[in-house]
Amino acid sequence: MLGGAAVVGRVVWDRGGFGAASLQGARQVRDYRIKAAAAQEHAELAIARAKAEEAASAEVLVKRALEAMGGMKRFVSRGDVVVVKPNIGWDRAPVHAANTNPDVVAAVIKQAFDAGAKRVVVADGSCNDPHRCFQRSGIWRTAYALGAEVVLPAEHRFRTTRMKGEVLDEWPIFTTLVDADKVINVPVAKHHNLAKYTAAMKNWYGVLGGRRNRLHQNIDTSIADLATFMRPSLVVVDAMRVLMRNGPQGGNIDDTKEMNTVFATVDQVAADAFGCTLIGQSPENLPYLKMGQERGLGTMAWQSLRVREV
């Protein structure tokens, strides 16, 4: 009886931290996907790689990938407030490939403004000190120079939200990242020591406040819960330089590999199923991908989509 009481008390006291399932009501969803169906000529997964004879340009690769997807105007309408969500988790320079490449972020911001966005906001919930992360990553300076708003995490910007996930029941949410007309997920593809690989789905950890390290006890389910909660308008994955091992924060240039690749899709599961192959990982080894597919978030069989290499 005492043991049972302790378990119940722990769940009530620490909602969301230890895997208390939400049994009442449907999961909460923030769905920013466009409503119109893609035409047959639009790619469902666009992979842009630098050609051997050209200099690697993130701006060119982002443009190619988005054109194959039907162009940014398919995703962003005139007057939209657009949130761009990179990975700015770590106090690392771009060469370490722990954060999203600032040139990829810049290219997405430009495309959003060109499509008619009224405002573009760049934000993330950093793991290390946010001021150092935003500055050293190069993203703060780049985004500000293009006219985007840069919002750092602060206590008053978080609101406790009932997400009703299997692990994430009630949790502080970074409101800047959910108060928008459109949300574009711009992660970096890299190794992760617990999740094995991180990019699109796990990038939503930056939406959370609180002690996120508690979620590592059930990391795959927490990733699936987050991807269920956040349904982005578009995913643009940075694989210009990829952290092959010792992720997520790395720190040794020898652990990285230049791939000069950017890929785009609206399917978070497919993005990670393809992206994990870049570090030699198999989608079948990532439980959160299977969970995402079972929840109807996308497909692990990325080859079954309309894939275009540009």
pLDDT in tens, 121-169: 999 999 999 999 999 999 999 999 999 999 999 999 999 999 999 999 9
**What Cα–Cα distance (Å) separates residue 239 from each residue in 47, 80, 208, 262, 271?**
10, 27, 24, 5, 12
Whole-angstrom Cα distance, residue 145 to residue 218?
39
The letter for the amino acid at 74 is R
pLDDT at 50 (0 to 100): 96
Model confidence pTM above 0.85: yes
Question: Which residues is 258 bridged to in the sheet?
Answer: 241
Burial category of 9 from C-beta neighbours within 10 Å (exposed 0-12, middle 13-18, buried 19 and up): exposed
pLDDT at 36 (0 to 100): 76
Whole-angstrom Cα distance, residue 138 to residue 133?
9
- Low-confidence stretches of the chain (pLDDT < 50) are 1-24
pLDDT at 5 (0 to 100): 44
pLDDT in tens, 170-212: 999 999 999 999 999 999 999 999 999 999 999 999 999 998 9
Question: How does strand 158-162 pair with strand 230-231?
Answer: unpaired
